[in-house]
Amino acid sequence: MLHINDLVLRIGGRVLFDQATAHIPAGERVGLVGRNGAGKTTLFRLIAGDLSPDGGSVSIRPRARLGQVAQEISDSSDPIGDWVLAADRERTGLLSESARLEAGHGDPQHLADIHDRLNAIDAHAAPARAAAILAGLGFDAQAQERPLVSFSGGWRMRVALAAALFARPDLLLLDEPTNHLDLEAALWLRAYLATYPGTLIVISHDRDLLNDVAGRILHLDGGKLTAYGGNYDNFERVRRERLDLAAKTYASQMEQRRKIQSFIDRFRAKATKAAQAQSRIKMLERMGPAIPVIEDRTQTFEFPDPAPLPPPLIAVENGVVGYGDRPVLRDVALRIDMDDRIALLGANGNGKSTLAKLLAGRLELSAGRITRPPRLKVGYFAQHQTDDLAVERTALDHMRGVMPDSSDTVVRAQLGRFGFSRERADIAVGALSGGEKARLLLALMSRNAPHMMILDEPTNHLDIDAREALMAALNAYEGAVILVSHETRLVETVADRLWLVADGTVRPFDGDLDDYRRLLLEKARDTRRGPAGGPMEGNNGSSRRDARRDAAQIRTRLAPLRRRAEAADKALHSLGERKKAVEAKLADPALYQADPAALTAFTRDLAEIDRALAEAESEWLEAHEAWDEAKSGALQP
């Protein structure tokens, strides 16, 4: 489906890609991972053709449809259900042409052809499929009838995601698809993507999503792309093993070089040993420099521990909270102590943020009673607070503003707890990455050692290592934690209690996240059933059988071409693996001290593999082009 060959790209004098190569077969679900700033989003722009490389190539299977989540969404007055349906351009065009022909009494044969094609693409089921995707992403039936313009930016991004999923492109590119989702929608998306029928490449820092969805991990590091089979956990294990092996190899090389250099130093001046010394010098030159293993810097966070307070930190009885005359939550009864770790469950719009604001002291009860110690300090983190940061001020300026009585050393130490070096602390916020802005908010929130921290989606924009650091810091923190997050790993690692915010109130959830997943699945099944317990959409049994029979006949006719295309995929992948193995042999310094015939053989093998790769790439393009043409023809009457 996708072949990236010797890709080179420089931006602003920085090399983002340096001879990067990867091959992704059709139907593969790939997780693209790497440090923030490594170039993952830039790679998506190269694949989409929005950027041109300085060298190498990116080729997609001929006539393959590429899909992405739209970043710019117009202020459409169409209902979101219609907007999503329009993402299938072929269906929309066929329906428009059909209506035109029917109104103008056009060619009956052409009209029949159009209806045959609509049946072939299962157009009649499209509204139900679009509705199911929107429901999975949090839009109930009433919301699906609302115009797109009535939704906020975060909800519009969900609509754009629904449109990309509904269009079912051959190659789907998703960049952090869970960032605008709540836990419920994120769980649904993970299940949906795990069975996505096309080729998928997803950039995500959500470890659980990568474990559930990806069958291969593509690691972008140092301008190179390295493929690992399996999910993220397997990638992490194999990469650690490779790093350990590389470190041992480097140590062995350095010891070998030390011994050779010692011989040279001892006998260079002796006439009887001069020839041997010169031989060792040439041996060192052939070996080349030993390459050390440079590992990424481990990130650590540290929340200052609060002074003890008598329990409870907060207690609410018969509480009612909302906005003006509109109550959001009623009959609220809760208690929070210093050692509590609580995660809030419930779909967006049910009142999680309202409850968080109440606990943070940003909203007052309209009825009921709340008690809290007068010395209680609460830290509140919300991702939208990045909009309140002054882009022209540095991280140090922001921290000085909230710690006016502290010395420069103390202020910088607080920033250092969240990974800010002296240099990064002095850079304007506008030049910081999204992850650095999130870390700055965490540093600002915790600067006065709060007794309770309320974290609303704290992991957005944090990479996987930073998320692991956040989990460790929260578990080491001695105050209370209230957590709202779509990331199940964070919830399972940090929280020991779950509260469900739903149906206008908040109550303890008796179970774990697996129980909550089952509850959501049961609700989804109930939603898909009609009032009598039957399915919401009905299909004629015979028409389904006819459709299955026709599809089977098409598959039979296409089988030889499909097998040819699959064989081309496998051949290309096999040659790529062989090339990596030979290159690894040639990179081994020990080879240059062995039989010169072996070195010659490996060099010859590499040249032969390169020739075979060129032929295989040509066959790959021809095979997939023939298959696509045959499929298009087979679906025509």
Burial of 169 (0-12, 13-18, 19+ CB in 10 A): middle
Q: Lowest mean pLDDT of 14-28, 95-109, 141-155, 204-218, name the range.
A: 95-109
Closest listed residue to residue 321, CA positions, set 311, 330, 313, 308: 330
pLDDT over 70 at 170, yes or no? yes
The predicted pLDDT at position 500 comes to: 92
Q: Lowest mean pLDDT of 172-186, 414-428, 545-559, name the range.
A: 545-559
Q: What phi, psi does 450 have (nearest 5°)?
A: -65, 155
The predicted pLDDT at position 613 comes to: 77
pLDDT over 50 at 539, yes or no? no
Strands (E), 308-361: 314-323, 326-336, 341-345
Average pLDDT over residues 484-513: 88
The predicted pLDDT at position 98 comes to: 78
The predicted pLDDT at position 334 comes to: 93
Q: Which residue has the higher pLDDT, 371 or 279?
A: 371
Q: Lowest mean pLDDT of 128-137, 415-424, 526-535, name the range.
A: 526-535
Give the three-class secondary structure for 160.
helix
Average pLDDT over residues 135-141: 86
Burial of 605 (0-12, 13-18, 19+ CB in 10 A): middle
Average pLDDT over residues 611-620: 76
The predicted pLDDT at position 464 comes to: 83
Per residue, what are the HEC states of 527-568?
HCECCCCCECCCCCHHHHHHHHHHHHHHHHHHHHHHHHHHHH
Instruction: Provide the 10 A C-beta neighbour count for residue 502.
Output: 15
Share of the chain above pLDDT 70, in %: 82
pLDDT over 60 at 119, yes or no? yes
Q: How many Å apart are CA 46 and CA 53, to the nearest integer?
A: 7
pLDDT over 70 at 520, yes or no? yes
192, 184 contact by CB (below 8 A): no
The predicted pLDDT at position 635 comes to: 44
303, 453 contact by CB (below 8 A): yes
Average pLDDT, the chain: 81
| Bridging pattern class, strands 29-33 and 216-221 | parallel
CA atoms within 13 A on the CB side of 347: 16
The predicted pLDDT at position 382 comes to: 83
Share of the chain above pLDDT 90, in %: 18
Confidence bin at 62 (pLDDT 50/70/90): confident
| Residues 553, 557, 561: CA angle, nearest 5 degrees | 145
CA torsion sign, 570 to 571 to 572 to 575?
Answer: positive
Q: Which residue has the higher pLDDT, 624 or 366?
A: 366
The predicted pLDDT at position 481 comes to: 94
pLDDT tens per residue, range 274-305: 666 666 666 666 655 555 544 455 577 889 88
pLDDT tens per residue, range 314-323: 999 999 998 8
pLDDT over 80 at 371, yes or no? yes
Confidence bin at 110 (pLDDT 50/70/90): confident
The predicted pLDDT at position 455 comes to: 92
Confidence bin at 577 (pLDDT 50/70/90): confident
- Identity of the residue numbered 256: Q
Q: How many Å apart are CA 481 and CA 357, to the nearest integer?
A: 14
pLDDT over 90 at 560, yes or no? no
pLDDT over 60 at 396, yes or no? yes
Q: Which residue has the higher pLDDT, 395 or 549?
A: 395
pLDDT over 50 at 387, yes or no? yes
- Identity of the residue numbered 614: A
Which of 204-208, 410-414, 630-634: highest mean pLDDT?
410-414
Average pLDDT over residues 169-197: 88
Confidence bin at 173 (pLDDT 50/70/90): very high
CA 567 from centre of chain: 30
The predicted pLDDT at position 230 comes to: 87
pLDDT over 90 at 452, yes or no? yes
The predicted pLDDT at position 564 comes to: 76
pLDDT over 50 at 536, yes or no? no
pLDDT over 80 at 213, yes or no? yes
pLDDT over 90 at 622, yes or no? no
